[in-house]
């Protein structure tokens, strides 16, 4: 059986549980190498998971290992340089969120991937939920021209922004892949807070469901008691007259999070609660709204690297296309610029 040879760059929390562990279980993948800037961490992961090649020098890993693709799950301030180096060496790339910190970087890497005949994509587990697939089908079939999209995501992550790993994860067993305390809290490392850590989820979902190109954004953000944004509200103007709002809250009480989206079109509306596996829809011919209960997913996290592997092997199309990754950065980077300037920003 042909396997895709993958390197994982960054084996902290999500790099381990969201990428390394699923890839090791995937019969179509071979984890050929792992990288971390921390020698003790990369050695521990290599020993625990049986990975033969472990590096603290990223360029050396790429130069000396036979690979088909790289998962870039390092801290956001490294995404651009690591993804670019991989593409320059003719490798396909899956990047953890946030894809890039600046729109110019995202556009450049998209063009580089195309020139090299490779692809670059971004990690979006929620897009792999069955409710999202069903919702996209219903939108295409029933809503017609789209007028308005309202999206919201809230989840308690403020502990990460406070560098309070115990508050975020509770008591953990020895060897649990905790992130570095600065990974989410230091804006020089993360590039931002809620917009990059959480709002990126809902922006990606919004783009995937509406299949629209963003044109302008205006944003408000509140940092509360930390150095990065915690609560965000963003207005977006898309092409073809579609307007949108996106809100995200990283200081939600535990177990009170939500991810939902309302989309209205010329023939009706759809309300998607994807993490609740529920879709509510009504069009002009319905006497009452219809509610769909979709089978819950048990593998949407694993399907992200799984789709990456199978796209490399030519067995599947990319679920999250390159242009979505670029458009996501255009919106989020534009939102940060809007907050800085107090003005509407063209993206």
**What is the phi/psi pair of residue 322, to 5°?**
-55, -40
Q: What is the pLDDT of residues 131-185, one digit of tens each?
A: 999 999 999 999 999 999 999 999 999 999 999 999 899 988 888 888 888 999 9
**What is the phi/psi pair of residue 33, to 5°?**
-165, 155
Q: Are 274 and 129 contacting, i.e. CB atoms less than 8 angstroms apart?
A: yes
208 in the same domain as 66: no
Kindly state the average pLDDT of the residues 280-290: 95
Q: What is the pLDDT of residues 94-131, one digit of tens each?
A: 999 999 999 999 999 999 999 999 999 999 999 999 99
115 in the same domain as 92: yes
329 in the same domain as 204: yes
Q: What is the pLDDT of residues 240-270, one digit of tens each?
A: 999 999 999 999 998 899 999 999 999 999 9
The range of the structural domain enclosing residue 204 comes to 126-297+321-346
Q: Is the pLDDT of residue 297 over 90?
A: no
Average pLDDT score, the chain: 96
Q: Are 45 and 37 contacting, i.e. CB atoms less than 8 angstroms apart?
A: no
Give me the CATH number covering residue 59. Answer: 3.40.50.720
106 in the same domain as 37: yes
286 in the same domain as 250: yes
pLDDT value of residue 296? 85
What whole-number percentage of the chain has pLDDT above 70? 100
By CB neighbour count within 10 A (0-12 exposed, 13-18 middle, 19+ buried), where does 96 fall? buried
Q: What is the pLDDT of residues 122-138, one digit of tens each?
A: 999 999 999 999 999 99
137 in the same domain as 153: yes
């Amino acid at each position: 059986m042909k396997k895709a040879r993958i390197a994982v760059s960054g084996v902290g929390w999500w790099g381990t549980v969201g990428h390394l562990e699923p890839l090791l279980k995937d019969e179509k993948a071979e984890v050929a190498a792992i990288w971390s800037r921390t020698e003790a961490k990369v050695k521990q992961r290599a020993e625990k998971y049986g990975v033969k090649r472990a590096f603290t020098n990223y360029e050396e890993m790429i130069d000396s290992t036979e690979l088909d693709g790289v998962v870039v799950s390092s801290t956001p301030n490294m995404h651009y340089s690591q993804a670019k180096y991989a593409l320059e060496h003719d490798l396909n790339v899956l990047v953890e969120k946030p894809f890039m910190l600046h729109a110019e970087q995202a556009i450049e890497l998209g063009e580089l991937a195309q020139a090299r005949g490779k692809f670059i994509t971004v990690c979006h587990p929620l897009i792999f939920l069955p409710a999202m697939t069903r919702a996209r089908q219903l939108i295409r079939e029933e809503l017609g021209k789209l007028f308005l999209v309202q999206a919201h995501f809230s989840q308690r992550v403020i502990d990460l922004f406070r560098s309070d790993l115990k508050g975020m994860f509770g008591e953990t067993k020895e060897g649990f892949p905790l992130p570095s305390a600065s990974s989410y809290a230091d804006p020089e490392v993360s590039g931002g807070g809620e917009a990059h850590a959480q709002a990126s989820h809902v922006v990606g979902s919004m783009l995937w469901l509406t299949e629209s190109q963003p044109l302008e954004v205006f944003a408000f953000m509140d940092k509360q008691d930390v150095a990065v944004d915690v609560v965000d509200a963003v207005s977006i103007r898309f092409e073809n007259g579609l307007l949108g709002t996106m809100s995200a809250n990283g200081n939600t009480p535990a177990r009170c999070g939500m991810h939902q989206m309302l989309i209205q079109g010329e023939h009706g509306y759809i309300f998607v609660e994807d993490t609740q596996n529920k879709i509510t829809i009504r069009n002009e011919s319905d006497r009452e709204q219809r509610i769909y209960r979709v089978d819950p997913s048990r593998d949407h996290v694993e399907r992200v690297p799984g789709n990456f592997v199978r796209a490399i092997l030519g067995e599947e199309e990319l679920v999250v296309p390159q242009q979505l990754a670029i458009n996501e950065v255009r919106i989020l980077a534009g939102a940060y610029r809007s907050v800085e300037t107090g003005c509407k920003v063209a993206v």
